[in-house]
Amino acid sequence: MAKTHTFTCNACGASSTKWSGRCESCGEWNSIIEEAPLSAGPAKKSLGGKRGRALNLTDLSSDEVPPPRTHSGMDELDRVLGGGLVPSSAILVGGDPGIGKSTLLLQAAASFARKGLKTIYVSGEEASAQVRMRADRLGLRDAPVQLATETNLRDILTTLETEKPQLAIIDSIQTMWADNVESAPGSVSQVRAAAHELTTFAKRRGMSVILVGHVTKDGQIAGPRVIEHMVDTVLYFEGERGHQFRILRAVKNRFGPADEIGVFEMTGAGLSEVTNPSALFLSERDKPAPGSVVFAGIEGTRPVLCELQALVAPSPHSQARRAVVGWDSGRLAMILAVLEARCGIPFTGLDVYLNVAGGMRITEPAADLAVAAALLSAREDTALPADTVVFGEISLSGALRPVGQTENRLKEAAKLGFSGAIAPSGGKTSGAGGLNIQKMPDLTAFVGEIFGAG
């Protein structure tokens, strides 16, 4: 029976039986290409043992229990991985072009190799001489890492089968191509097939594999989303080009907490770890200024203090502008609506700009009160005390809701020299380290207490 060709969107991975100029799923133009599906092939025995046989957890012998995690010696990387590298794991690392993914993974390969892991770094984007140039710049010439430059998936798997490494780094998955898939390298079918083969090989051979993935203009890993379901851990390497900070964030981790972050600083000699990110994000903070508020947040299991900056100015246009960097624009609109409806403070005819300093990206709702404080401070041209941190979630009724890990937030603030905090009523504040805590029941009380209006 002849194989039926399908048409797949390069942007979102949606499949259809006919070609069209515009994808019906994501709306992208000229992104649909014709592809031949993978052949099912003859039925073979399963990789795990006999076909159809159920295995109880109590039947696992002691030699089948995986060995402990391997620590790389890079504490920030180990933190994001959940405590180290898990054997037979598949990890996907995504990030913008030029953000430092290859630099990070070359340093990680050298660190793991020096810890005793047999490591192979496979580059499909650069020549071997270019990778050695980067290694020389990073001071890794003597690292016991094997280097390969290849894009043919069959040759790569044959090399891995022969060398039997404990860790393989593939840079990048979009450059790999399988000769049994009738489509161009980088297409949805090629990326899916390469990721599946490498992940299956890693599980079967007890080898860990790290895949580098490109991202789209929306910040998502290019290719089908099924890749993120195949792997055990998905990491995003983030950062602003204008800042030297780089953040490695776990968005999925089967072996540790998600939303954990590791902070690095880009230098001329590569990436250096930042053990105290709160002090780094607050290092450029000058004397108190209107619109500047310090937020005590939680990233994964780590408390991080960062500065929120707001600017409110009269708008010269008929429709006021709302610009946000590092936070959700929809949530900003909600905060502005609550301030107007519950506190009688309008922002009509005013441009509002909100920025998270240092290139951080905040997603937790505990930043609501800090954002409201920054907006009111900018609007009233009144600076908040420089030694005070703010956190709390705002409901649509104007009430302030307590947030999780209040004690850890306060301890981090006290450790960095802050003497005051503004938090919702009801949160646990024991062990605050002598901080002067102002507890607010709702947004109206906060406005009246801090800004003298309500």
Q: Is there a binding annotation on residue 100?
A: yes
CA distances from 134 to 56, 129, 229, 237, 294 (A): 48, 9, 32, 19, 38
101 is in an annotated binding site: yes
Rounded Cα distance, 262 and 257, in Å: 12
Reported as a single tens digit per residue, the pLDDT across 331-373 is: 999 999 999 999 999 999 999 999 998 778 898 999 999 999 9
Domain boundaries, the chain: 1-37, 70-275, 280-451
Average pLDDT over residues 68-89: 92
pLDDT of 44: 43
Share of the chain above pLDDT 90, in %: 55
pLDDT of residue 226: 82
Mean pLDDT of the chain: 86
* Least confident span in 282-291, 338-347, 444-453: 282-291
Residue 306 has which token pair? 């960062």
**pLDDT value of residue 156:** 94
- pTM of the model as a whole: 0.77
- What architecture (CATH level 2) is domain 70-275? 3-Layer(aba) Sandwich (3.40)
Q: Which of 75-79, 144-148, 279-283, 439-443 has the lowest mean pLDDT?
A: 279-283
pLDDT-based confidence at 49, cuts 50/70/90? very low
Please tell me whether 239 is known to bind a ligand: no
Is 98 annotated to bind a ligand? Reply is yes
pLDDT for 1 equals: 44
96 is in an annotated binding site: yes
Q: Does the annotation list 232 as a binding residue?
A: no
99 annotated ligand binder: yes
Q: What is the pLDDT of residues 312-336, one digit of tens each?
A: 999 988 899 999 999 999 999 999 9
| Residue 286, pLDDT score | 64
Tell whether the model's pLDDT for residue 5 goes beyond 70: no
Sorting pLDDT into bands at 50, 70 and 90, what band is 287?
Answer: confident
**pLDDT at 384 exceeding the cut of 60:** yes
Amino acid present at 352: V
Return the CATH architecture of domain 280-451.
Answer: 2-Layer Sandwich (3.30)
Mean pLDDT value of segment 165-191: 89
The pLDDT of residue 97: 86
pLDDT tens digits along 84-95: 999 999 999 998
